[in-house]
Amino acid sequence: MEHYDLGAAWPMATTDAYNQSSSSYSRSPTYDTSPTTTDNNPSGEGRLYVCLAPGCTHNPFKRVTDLDRHYKSVHVRDEDKDKFYCDYKKCPRNQDPFFRPERLRNHLRDYHKEDLPKKGTKTTAEWLRERNIQPKWWRCYACLQRVDIRRDGFMCRHCNQVCEPERQSLREKKR
C-alpha cells in the first residue's frame, strides 16, 4: 500500500490569517512534515492546518487528525486505501467497501440494526429492542470484528476490547 506523506500541513494562527495570506503559502514538494505551534501559542489552540496537496482547495482544519483523515480519504487512490467490507454475505457492501471504519460502523448499526451505539450517546431500552442481537456472537466496537462467544467469550482476540456489560447481558438473555 502506498502512503501519502500525511505530515504535510501548514499551521495557521487564525482563519483571518489564512484569508489574508493564502496565496503566499508554499505548495512546493518540500514542506515541513511536522505541524508545529509557535512559541507564543504552545498549546496550538485556535490553530488551523491547511492541506498542502497540489491543487487542493479544502478549507483549513482545526485538528491535525482531521487533516490526516482528509489526506487518507481524498488524496490517496481508492486502490491504495484501507478497505472495510461488510461481512454479511448477501449485503451489496460485501463487495463494495467503505474506506473509513466509522462508515462501516454506521452501516452495521443503521442497515443491519446491530447494537453498536453511537459514540457518546446513551442507549435506550426502545433502541435496543429494535436491534438485531445475535446470541452466538457480538461485534467489537473498536475493530468491528465478529467475536464468537463460545470460542472467545466477551473479549475480542483481535484488539483485546471487552464487550460492554449491557451488550453481554442482552446476549445472555437470548440463550
pLDDT digits 0-9 by tens, 20-65? 333 333 333 333 334 433 334 556 667 899 999 999 999 999 999 9
pLDDT of 87 above 90: yes
pLDDT for the residue numbered 81 = 85
pLDDT for the residue numbered 46 = 79
Match 483549513 to its residue by C-alpha cell: 60
DSSP output for the chain: -----TT-EEEES-HHHHHHHGGGS---S---SS----TT-TT-TT-EEEE-STT--PPPBSSHHHHHHHHHHHSS-GGGS--B----TTSGGGTS-BSSHHHHHHHHHHTS--S-PPTT----HHHHHTS---SSEEE-TTT--EEEHHHHTTB-TTT-PBPPHHHHHHHHHH-
DSSP output for 26-43: ---S---SS----TT-TT
pLDDT tens sequence across 91-114: 999 999 999 999 999 999 999 999
Higher per-residue pLDDT: 120 or 1: 120
pLDDT for the residue numbered 44 = 62
pLDDT of 13 above 80: no
Whether the full predicted model's pTM is greater than 0.85, yes or no, is no
pLDDT for the residue numbered 43 = 61
Average pLDDT score over the chain: 80
Percent of the chain whose predicted confidence (pLDDT) is above 70: 74
pLDDT of 18 above 50: no
